[in-house]
Amino acid sequence: MTCRNRMRRAALWVFCSPLALATAHAAPAGVTVAPPAPHRAAHRAPAVRPGPAAEQIVATARHTRSEQSVGHLEMQRILPGISPVKALEILPGVVFNNADPWGNNEQNSSLFIHGFNQNQLGYTLDGVPLGDQAYGNFNGLSPQRAAISENIGAASVATGAGALGTASTSNLGGTLQFLTQDPSHRAGGQLSQTFGSWSTFRTFARIDTGDFGNGNAAYVSWARQDARAWDFAGHQGGNQVNAKFVHQGNADKVTAFFDWSDKVEPNEDGIVMPNGAGLYKRPFLYPDFKAAETYLTSGASSAAGLNYRNYYSDAQRQDFLSYVSWAHDFGTNLHWDNQIYYHHDLGEGIVAGPISAAGLPALFAAYFPGQDLQSVFGGSGYATRTTEYWDNRGGISSTLRYHLGNHHIELGGWYERNNNTQARRWYPFFADAPSTPYDRQHDPLIHQYTNYFYTNTWVTHLQDSWQVSRNFSLSAGFKSELVYTNGTLPVAGLPGSLSPKTAITVPGGTIAAVRPFLPAFGALWNITPHEQWFANIQENMRSFQDAGYGNATPWGVTSQQAFEDFKQHGKPETSWTYETGFRTNRPVNLGPLTNISGQIEYYHVHFSNRLLAVATTQVLSSIVGSATILTNVGSVTTDGMDFSFTTQFGRHFSFYNALSYNKSVYNDNYTTGSTLVHTAGRNVAGVPDWTEKFVASTNWGDFSAQLIGDVIGKRYATFTNDLWASPYALFSVNAGYEIRGIPHIRGLKIQGNITNLTNERGWSTLNISQASGQYTAFPIAPRMFFLTLGATF
């Protein structure tokens, strides 16, 4: 039997090296080293094997770069319905924070990997680009909106540099890839119900057709979540539908996927520090409007300063995402992957707050000079501000893979057209009919500004992997990124409506981010059947964000002259990443210790042309914002190490541990106005030097349990490092039991989860401040309890 056919029988495509085969056959039940990524990885999720003992907590791919993944079963053990990004926080080098136990809230979400933040990373779902995860939606959607959590087959992260073929133009740092499960070959269904703290009620249902026709299978699934926000009476959640069809022929695989998501996520108001010292949460007043009216005239309101209380705030997002892919084998040595996709988003970010908040009276006076603002906005003392999003994007990708002797050649291209709109509008808030976080706003009083963006993205790549000898291979290649964005301003802010009053929103124009040659080099050495050395060097570019006023983009500046100057002289952000490491996966016979696997990695990153929206005035209120100048503030140097391992103790116990060290330092000072900001030699804000994660697991037949720990070190909260957030440690536990032998039910599972086991209090996400002496922090969600009942048919 050929190597190719053996691997097909195992539903996993691997290179036929001794190390890969040893790994494939000798992998332990805990954290393990996985075989190389399949050629069709962008289209096929790895098979999820049944039973607690078969699940891998973390799998380590065998590439010239560092790449590790978390599988379906482990994600749902951490917490059913979890955001797949939050599930990755157990991996080394990944620092994820959120004030929500599922990690769903996008407004107060933060992610750092090797010194880069979430907008400087790349994200794909089954190969479809998900954009740069900006809260101000403009070129994608979050993974939890792209697919139902229970349908994610695997989530992986390349912490250094992603594959050349990754469909992203924001991945200065690593890439995050999410794979949906393929339909089951057996007809049946799944039904699960989660109950828990703060009125949590999550339902998931899925029906699989099993195999029908000639190589066909499909499923359709639905999820609904409703959970009260832990600090006020609002509710998060919504409905989501997924459907997937797969046709598997002898030489072809056709896949079609559809996602519809309609969600409302109440936001969390952060505490402005150090003014808010002593506060831990800043809850909204919704739904008690009488209390909200009383609050406006109370001493608490006047004394709150920037920590005043809003009536409500939330993010409304409705998404449609679909793709069709076709993979074809021309023969043993030539393979062709193709994909076409489309995404539509309609969203609003809403804040209902006092009209007297810092800076608002001046803004409103530009539109209603000399008028009584209380009457203008409905007599309530409140107004509703929206940032409204429309996004229509579609694209196509194609990749050829050719095996020629000892060479594996890959040639690919990706094109995307993205039309997106962002509008800032203000609506009345009527005292006799107060709105709710779940209402869509209509008939605005103020069209403050609107931006239209039209972006064409062209990315191609070419790579050759050369098998120099049986145990040693080299790879070399490059990608070209050509991104052309035309940003226009059909609605401009009135003079005096922005901060400062002299600021304007600019007409804009077209700017290109072009790098025709971004090289990558790698090496892989199978030292023994159980040990491997890898190395990778890669350059990446981040294209400009398609956003306007107040953002770190060319279209966010406040004069057309500044725009034209940046168009002529500005440069996109770029990075060089160097990484090398050692992997092992070795059975041992040391008493109770039966297997040890792990990886140690060193990395160095040079990040150039860091772009910063430097505020021209002090920001008195996040509601109003401030005019900015897009500034190249120099470079950042990062050095660090990740060390992770799993020890397996027989069939019943395993212990996974990940220790990471990161030192990211600003190399340059910069000026704001006439003030020199001393950042040279300071640590990059928001990034801890040390993190420690662990998962202690036990499996006894149909019973499994885990204790999970996540320790985050000290994080600086300002560029000048004068303020910081203290370290914290979060622990969670889960335990489940599967009952078998029930007539007509393949399995009935009961699982309990406790998040934030010790009820730790501290700061999760930090909104970093450019200036000394102030930052905004969001709290850690309190301890919560969940119970999930699930059945498979």
pLDDT tens per residue across span 468-521: 999 999 999 999 999 999 999 999 988 888 877 777 888 899 999 999 999 999
Lowest-confidence region among 169-178, 285-294, 506-515, 767-776: 767-776
For tokens 């990124």, what's the residue?
481
- pLDDT at residue 105 is higher than 60: yes
- pLDDT at residue 35 is higher than 70: no
Residues of the chain by 3-state class (helix, strand, coil), percent to 5: 10, 50, 40
Cis peptide upstream of residue 727 (ω within 30 degrees of 0): no
For residue 402, name the pLDDT band (cuts at 50, 70, 90).
Answer: very high
pLDDT tens per residue across span 301-311: 989 988 999 99
For residue 770, name the pLDDT band (cuts at 50, 70, 90).
Answer: confident
- pLDDT at residue 17 is higher than 60: no
Q: What is the SS3 assignment for 520?
A: strand
More confident residue, 502 or 20: 502
**What mean pLDDT is predicted for residues 336-359?**
94
* CATH T-level fold of 3-657+685-792: Maltoporin; Chain A (2.40.170)
The per-residue pLDDT for 39 is 40
DSSP string, 650-717: TTTEEEEEEEEEEEEEE---EEETTEEE--TTPBPTT--SEEEEEEEEEEETTEEEEEEEEEE--EE-
Residue 685 to residue 636: CA distance in whole angstroms: 12
- pLDDT at residue 634 is higher than 50: yes
The per-residue pLDDT for 28 is 31
The per-residue pLDDT for 20 is 33
More confident residue, 773 or 572: 572
The per-residue pLDDT for 51 is 37
The per-residue pLDDT for 505 is 85
The per-residue pLDDT for 519 is 98
The per-residue pLDDT for 27 is 35
The per-residue pLDDT for 342 is 98
**What mean pLDDT is predicted for residues 428-435?**
95
**End-to-end Cα distance, the chain:** 35
Q: What is the SS3 assignment for 301?
A: helix
The per-residue pLDDT for 549 is 82
Question: Is the Cα torsion angle 614, 618, 623, 625 positive or negative in sign?
Answer: negative
Share of the chain above pLDDT 70, in %: 91
DSSP string, 122-189: EEEETTEE-TT--SS-SS---HHHHS-GGGEEEEEEESS---TT-S-S--SS-EEEEEEPPPPSS-EE
- pLDDT at residue 54 is higher than 90: no
The amino acid occupying position 311 is Y
More confident residue, 247 or 621: 247
The per-residue pLDDT for 55 is 56
Task: Using alpha carbons, select from 384, 446, 423 the residue that is nearest to residue 549.
Answer: 423
Share of the chain above pLDDT 90, in %: 80
- pLDDT at residue 6 is higher than 80: no
The per-residue pLDDT for 773 is 86
- pTM (2 d.p.): 0.92
Mean pLDDT of the chain: 90
Q: Which residues contact 232 (CB under 8 A, 6 or more apart)?
A: 266, 283, 284, 285, 286
Residue 175 to residue 161: CA distance in whole angstroms: 7
SS (H, E, C) 553-591: CHHHCCCHHHHHHHHHHCCCEEEEEEEEEEEEEEEEEEC
pLDDT tens per residue across span 450-470: 999 999 999 999 999 999 999
Query: Where are the alpha helices (H) located in 251-298, listed in sequence order?
Result: 289-296
More confident residue, 623 or 437: 437
pLDDT tens per residue across span 223-268: 999 999 999 988 999 999 999 999 999 999 999 999 999 999 989 8
The per-residue pLDDT for 62 is 87
The domain locations on the chain are 3-657+685-792
- pLDDT at residue 618 is higher than 60: no
Query: What does the block give as tokens for 411?
Result: 């040639």
